Amino acid sequence: MSHAPTGSPFARTEVLADGCAVVTVGGSWKLDDTLPAIVVKGDRVRVVADDLSDFDSSLPAWLYANFRNVRQLDLSALPPRLQSLVQMAEKATFTDTHAHDTGFLEQFGTWGVESSSSWGRAFEHIGHTAVGFLRMVVGRAKVNWSDFTLQLQTAGVDALPIVALLGFLTGLIMAYVGLIQLRQVGATVYVANLVSLAMTREMGALMTGVIACGRTSTAYASQLGSMNVSQETDALRALGINPVEYLAVPRILAVTLMVPLLAVFATFIGVLGGMIVACAGDLSIEQYLTQAIRAISFKSFLVGFLKSIAFGFIAAWAGCYRGSVAKRSALGVGEAATSAAVLGITFIVISDALFAVIFNLFNL
Amino acid sequence: MSDASAILTCTDLAIGHGSRVIMDRLNLALPAGKILAIVGPSGCGKSTLMRALGGLDEPLGGKTTLMGVDLNAARGTQRQDILRRMGFLFQGSALFSSLTLRENIEMPMREFLKAPRKEIRQLAEYKLALVGLADAMDKLPSEISGGMAKRAGIARAMALDPAVIFLDEPSAGLDPVSSGRLDELILRLREAFGTTVVLVSHEIPSILRTADFCVYLDPDTGTMGAYGPPKTFLQAGQSPKVHAFFTQARFD
């Protein structure tokens, strides 16, 4: 290796007759400099300094990176401070690290075990929630009722604008698509049936459930996750208060009560949204409303209402569950919020499919 | 001790929260390569003083200098250069939870150094090896113990070879063995890099082991109650309040 310009860090290698590699380092070594590359073969290395003017931790870091695996490393010719800097890194061992490489099979196995235990924790949380509700009914649970009224406000009333907007647009889009198709067979009057029935049975509840997941689940996961980080849930346990009863039950109850009301509101607004498109097309307001009211039966209303109760429960539970198992870090809280929304929406869609099968069996 | 040899000074410094002064008339001059411990009863302003000395908070009055530069008057590149010469370990370690330990150490290097990625990686691995975390480089902060987090925090504070490092209660929450090891580490790093250390601590045995100078903040008078080598605080001639604080804390 050739000499670098004066002042710049350099390293050159020479292999002696006995097989020992002698590495000479010199120049000025600074954190901002590009350091020399070196290839040393063999298991005996002696490092010497030549014209070594100045160095910071870049030189010991370079020596540590290049020679830490060499079997016989001789640093005795280096300045004592440099020797100690390299030896400090080599010798600094603490017994509390247990790192080991994991193979693919072990990683797969770990993933399997963690996934199954995650499902186990989810069912356990559902069980705790059910027990919490039962204890609340018999008056034995310690429930934070001030949280309950606050959640009625934040998960219910505060959600009205976004529910109205999305409900209105959903009705509008359905009416628009329906109008185009039904016009081809001269049955545009049935746009009102399509919109009102779809909103009542399906879309009102589904859209509200999804909004609750995006809005409320994530908020609950963040709140409870942050409480986990700051050990507030541990403090509750230490006081003999069950965090599920105290924190999750009022939230789940509030959302389970508010989502059906929001769903009814979304349905009403959705039907109005459909009316605007339908009336801009071929129908009069009177025609549309008469047809819409005729299409909605009590059974259809009941189907949508029952679904919205379930969706409200799922959205709130997903947030509380993911928050309660969040890792104790900022990253963990973020992950909890994301996974709460994903879990809630997935469960809502799955349960919607199950409802479709069940209601079909009972001719609802 | 003359001001000329001091790397860190404060003159008539007043510190507090908001506009409320909790300590004033603070005068210090710390020579390079020495360890200063700030002690005093809880809530007396130890961490606030450390933050003011490190330029994290603006003092309510007076002046602090680091390597001759007035920290509060420095702006732009000068301020950035001076901040680069300091390292901080916060009470909760303050590691970035979304980054591995190696990435935590690499982060300031990537921001401030022009060195290639490979060299930054080497440096980060070396710094972690110095604090005994060579085997835990790819772990996240949530996967390590409190003692390991403290050591990783020190490695990050040392990332850019600072002239001064500030350690806020480095041994808080650690068992005596881990606390003793951390003291050794601080002494070794000081010896190897010649770094000046300012630490806030309640651990009197740890202060007696590591510190060259100690400042006692007296909440009753709102200023320094004593300043000098910590062993002198144990002597009978010392102010009764300081003597009682040191001896009681030592043997409690």
Q: What is the pLDDT of residues B219-239, one digit of tens each?
A: 889 999 889 998 888 877 777
Task: Flag whether pLDDT at A129 surpasses 60.
Answer: yes
Residue A337 to chain B, least CA–CA distance (Å): 15
Task: Flag whether pLDDT at B43 surpasses 90.
Answer: no
- Tally the domains of chain B: 2
Do residues B68 and B166 both lie within one domain?
Answer: yes
Q: Answer yes or no: is B94 within a domain.
A: no
Do residues B212 and B116 both lie within one domain?
Answer: no
Q: Cα separation of B21 and A148, whole Å? A: 42
Give A54 or A171, the one with higher predicted confidence.
A171
Q: Answer yes or no: is A111 within a domain.
A: no
| Neighboring chain A residues of B151 at a CB cutoff of 8 Å | 94
Instruction: Print the domain residue range for B111.
Output: 100-155
Q: Answer yes or no: is A124 within a domain.
A: no
Q: Answer yes or no: is B91 within a domain.
A: no
Residue from B93, B130, B175 to probe the interface with A (highest A Cβ count within 10 Å)? B130
CA B130 to chain CA centroid, nearest Å: 18
Q: Do A32 and B98 touch (CB under 8 A)?
A: no
Q: Answer yes or no: is A125 within a domain.
A: no
Do residues B129 and B203 both lie within one domain?
Answer: no
Q: Answer yes or no: is B28 within a domain.
A: yes
Q: Cα separation of B43 and B61, whole Å? A: 20
* Mean pLDDT of all residues in A333-355: 95
Closest by CA position to B184, among listed B205, B219, B210: B210
Using alpha carbons, list the distances in angstroms from residue A203 to A8, A262, A269, A296.
71, 12, 12, 14
Give per-residue pLDDT as tens, A248-291: 999 999 999 999 999 999 999 999 999 999 998 888 999 999 99
Whose tokens are 């609802």? That residue is: A364
DSSP run (H or E) holding B28: strand B20-31
* Mean pLDDT of all residues in A332-351: 95
Q: Do A93 and B132 touch (CB under 8 A)?
A: yes
Nearest to A84 among B116, B136, B192 (CB): B192
Nearest to B97 among A81, A94, A329 (CB): A329
* Confidence band of B2 (pLDDT split at 50, 70, 90): very low
* Mean pLDDT of all residues in A300-306: 94
- Tally the domains of chain A: 2
Q: Answer yes or no: is B49 within a domain.
A: yes
**Residue B26's beta-bridge partner residues?**
B13
Residue from B84, B97, B158 to probe the interface with A (highest A Cβ count within 10 Å)? B97
* Mean pLDDT of all residues in A188-193: 92
B140 touches chain A (CB under 8 A): yes
Q: Do B115 and A89 touch (CB under 8 A)?
A: no
Residue A184 to chain B, least CA–CA distance (Å): 56
Q: Do A96 and B145 touch (CB under 8 A)?
A: yes
* Mean pLDDT of all residues in B151-157: 91
Which residue among A42, A69, A91 closes a domain? A91
Q: What was the pLDDT predicted at A100? A: 57
Q: Cα separation of A166 and A347, whole Å? A: 21
Task: Flag whether pLDDT at A2 surpasses 80.
Answer: no
* Mean pLDDT of all residues in B248-252: 54
Give A233 or A129, the one with higher predicted confidence.
A129
CA B213 to chain CA centroid, nearest Å: 13
Do residues B172 and B81 both lie within one domain?
Answer: yes
pTM over 0.90: no
Do residues A191 and A240 both lie within one domain?
Answer: yes
Q: What was the pLDDT predicted at B129? A: 92
Measured N-to-C along each axis, helices A204-212 and A298-324 cross at an angle, to the nearest 10 degrees, of 10
Give per-residue pLDDT as tens, A64-99: 888 888 888 888 889 888 888 888 888 765 544 445
Which residue among A67, A91, A115 closes a domain? A91
With a CB cutoff of 8 Å and minimum separation 6, the contacts of B196 are B7, B8, B30, B31, B32, B33, B34, B35, B36, B163, B164, B165, B190
Give per-residue pLDDT as tens, B53-104: 988 888 999 999 998 899 888 887 888 788 888 999 988 888 887 789 999 9
The winner for highest mean pLDDT among B17-26, B121-130, B142-151, B240-249 is B121-130
Q: What was the pLDDT predicted at B103? A: 93
Give per-residue pLDDT as tens, A30-61: 888 888 888 877 788 999 988 888 888 899 99
B117 touches chain A (CB under 8 A): no
Task: Flag whether pLDDT at A3 surpasses 50.
Answer: no
Q: What was the pLDDT predicted at A108? A: 84
Q: Cα separation of A104 and A335, whole Å? A: 24
Task: Flag whether pLDDT at B250 surpasses 60.
Answer: no
Do residues A68 and A203 both lie within one domain?
Answer: no
Q: What was the pLDDT predicted at A102? A: 67
Q: Do A97 and B133 touch (CB under 8 A)?
A: yes
Do residues B71 and B180 both lie within one domain?
Answer: yes
Do residues A246 and A135 both lie within one domain?
Answer: yes
DSSP run (H or E) holding A49: strand A44-55
Cα dihedral A208, A210, A215, A221, rounded to 10, equals 130
Q: Answer yes or no: is A104 within a domain.
A: no
Q: Answer yes or no: is B92 within a domain.
A: no
Whose tokens are 């881990």? That residue is: B178
Q: Do A330 and B97 touch (CB under 8 A)?
A: yes
Are the C-beta atoms of residues B12 and B27 closer than 8 Å to each other? yes
Nearest to A88 among B113, B130, B133 (CB): B130
Which residue among A37, A61, A91 closes a domain? A91
Nearest CA in chain B to A328: B142
Q: Answer yes or no: is A108 within a domain.
A: no
Q: What was the pLDDT predicted at B101? A: 94
Q: Environment class of residue A306 by beta-carbon count within 10 Å: exposed (0-12), middle (13-18) or buried (19+)?
A: middle
Q: What CATH number does residue B196 fall under?
A: 3.40.50.300
| Neighboring chain B residues of A9 at a CB cutoff of 8 Å | none
| Neighboring chain B residues of A31 at a CB cutoff of 8 Å | 109, 113, 115, 123, 160-161
With a CB cutoff of 8 Å and minimum separation 6, the contacts of A11 are A1, A23, A24, A25, A26, A36, A38, A62
B87 touches chain A (CB under 8 A): no
Q: What was the pLDDT predicted at A356? A: 93
**Residue B198's beta-bridge partner residues?**
B36, B166
Q: Answer yes or no: is A2 within a domain.
A: no
Q: Compute how many other C-beta atoms are within 10 angstroms of the C-beta atom of residue A153.
A: 12
Give per-residue pLDDT as tens, B182-211: 888 889 888 888 899 999 988 888 899 999
Q: Answer yes or no: is B236 within a domain.
A: yes
Do residues A156 and A33 both lie within one domain?
Answer: no
Query: 3-state class of B238 per DSSP?
Result: coil
A186: tokens are: 């001269």
Do residues A299 and A197 both lie within one domain?
Answer: yes
Do residues B52 and B69 both lie within one domain?
Answer: yes
Q: What was the pLDDT predicted at A231? A: 77
Do residues A145 and A81 both lie within one domain?
Answer: no
Q: Do B133 and A32 touch (CB under 8 A)?
A: no
Nearest to A65 among B122, B130, B132 (CB): B122
Q: Do A92 and B193 touch (CB under 8 A)?
A: no
Do residues A211 and A84 both lie within one domain?
Answer: no
Residue B94 to chain A, least CA–CA distance (Å): 11
Q: Answer yes or no: is B45 within a domain.
A: yes
Q: Answer yes or no: is A126 within a domain.
A: no
Do residues A41 and A159 both lie within one domain?
Answer: no
ipTM at complex level:
0.77
* Confidence band of B3 (pLDDT split at 50, 70, 90): low
Do residues A54 and A145 both lie within one domain?
Answer: no
**Residue A4's beta-bridge partner residues?**
none
Do residues A75 and A150 both lie within one domain?
Answer: no
Q: Answer yes or no: is A76 within a domain.
A: yes
Q: Compute how many other C-beta atoms are within 10 angstroms of the C-beta atom of residue A33.
A: 18
Do residues B240 and B196 both lie within one domain?
Answer: yes
* Confidence band of A344 (pLDDT split at 50, 70, 90): very high
Do residues B39 and B107 both lie within one domain?
Answer: no
DSSP letters, A132-176, are HHHHHHTT-S---HHHHHHHIIIIIGGGHHHHHHHHHHHHHHHHH
Do residues B126 and B30 both lie within one domain?
Answer: no
Do residues B185 and B206 both lie within one domain?
Answer: yes
Let me know how long chain B is: 252
Do residues B124 and B199 both lie within one domain?
Answer: no
Do residues A177 and A324 both lie within one domain?
Answer: yes
Give per-residue pLDDT as tens, A209-228: 999 999 999 999 999 999 98
DSSP letters, A227-261, are HHHTTHHHHHHHTT--HIIIIIHHHHHHHHHHHHH
Give per-residue pLDDT as tens, B101-127: 999 999 888 888 888 888 999 999 999
DSSP letters, A313-339, are HHHHHHHHHHHHT--SSHHHHHHHHHH
Using alpha carbons, list the distances in angstroms from residue B28 to A85, B2, B12, B20, B234.
31, 10, 9, 22, 21
Average pLDDT, chain A: 89
Q: Do B191 and A329 touch (CB under 8 A)?
A: no
Q: Cα separation of B92 and A195, whole Å? A: 56
Q: Cα separation of B218 and B225, whole Å? A: 5
| Neighboring chain B residues of A62 at a CB cutoff of 8 Å | 119, 122
Closest by CA position to B1, among listed B26, B30, B33, B25: B30
Q: Answer yes or no: is B90 within a domain.
A: no
Which residue among B132, B155, B178 closes a domain? B155
Do residues A194 and A271 both lie within one domain?
Answer: yes
Q: What was the pLDDT predicted at A97? A: 44
Closest by CA position to A36, among listed A51, A45, A26, A50: A26
Do residues B13 and B133 both lie within one domain?
Answer: no
Nearest to B132 among A32, A34, A94 (CB): A94
Which residue among B139, B155, B171 closes a domain? B155
Instruction: Print the domain residue range for A292.
Output: 131-361
If interface means Cβ-Cβ distance under 8 Å, which residues of chain A face chain B?
31-35, 56-58, 60-62, 64-65, 81, 84-85, 88-90, 92-94, 96-99, 327-332, 334
